Amino acid sequence: MTVDPTLTDDMGNGIENGIESGAVGAAVADVLDVGTGTGLVLRALAATSPDPLRATGVDVAPAMLAAAGRALPAAVFVLADAAALPVADRSVDLVTCVTALQLMPRPDAVLAEWARVLRPGGRAVTATFTGFGRPAGPPRDFPVHHDRFATPELLAGLRLRRHAAWRHDDGDSFLLAELETALPGAAR
């Protein structure tokens, strides 16, 4: 992926390709999707993976988890806070989080959890809004703390592997970042 702050190509295709590329070329067996919603990301990964995945999705919305469970019964879906993941240390190859990180009240704690649960050499792929233009409708009712996501490589235990950025004509901007454990094999 390349960095282009004014890119106006199809953001959806970029997100899909970016998430899938986080699993390509790596030994991915255990996947954790944070803010899974209806399990869309896990379903896409399961459909494209050459090997079976042990997929787990976490979310704070029971109705979303119920829908995810119906759509992907082979996965495990858990009601949990993303800042306190019910997952063992160093037990996950790939963490995904698509368009949910910017909604979480403690993103620093969430990212620290990713570092905790990733195996050495593991990766996290996130797609998050980094800014919003002026909406045509009423104001959004969720927190907007986007500057924290501008430099994910500074987070303890993770480093930026690659990223892409999009900016739309309406002023919305979006970051797709692939993070990896900072020192594969090193103790944290």
CATH number of the domain where residue 58 is located: 3.40.50.150
- Model's pTM, two decimal places? 0.75
Number of domains in the chain: 1
Whether the pLDDT of residue 29 is over 80: the answer is: yes
Lowest mean pLDDT among 6-20, 65-79, 113-127, 155-169: 6-20
Q: Is 151 a domain residue?
A: yes
% of the chain beyond a pLDDT of 70: 65
pLDDT of residue 106: 86
3 close to 161: Cβ distance less than 8 angstroms: no
161 against 79, higher pLDDT: 79
pLDDT of residue 178: 78
When pLDDT is averaged across residues 81-100 and rounded to a whole number, the result is 94
**Nearby residues of 65 by Cβ (< 8 Å), 6 or more positions away:** 36, 57, 59, 77, 78, 79
pLDDT of residue 15: 55
Q: Is 186 a domain residue?
A: no
Q: Is 187 a domain residue?
A: no
pLDDT of residue 152: 45
In the chain the beta strands, taken as DSSP E runs, fall at: 30-34, 54-59, 76-79, 92-98, 118-131, 158-167, 173-181
Q: Is 97 a domain residue?
A: yes
**Which structural domain, as residue segments, surrounds residue 95?**
11-181
When pLDDT is averaged across residues 115-126 and rounded to a whole number, the result is 91
pLDDT digits (tens, 9 = 90+) for 65-85: 999 999 999 999 999 999 999
Q: Is 188 a domain residue?
A: no
Mean pLDDT score across all residues of the chain: 76
Q: Say which amino acid occupies 112.
A: A
Q: Is 98 a domain residue?
A: yes
Q: Is 124 a domain residue?
A: yes
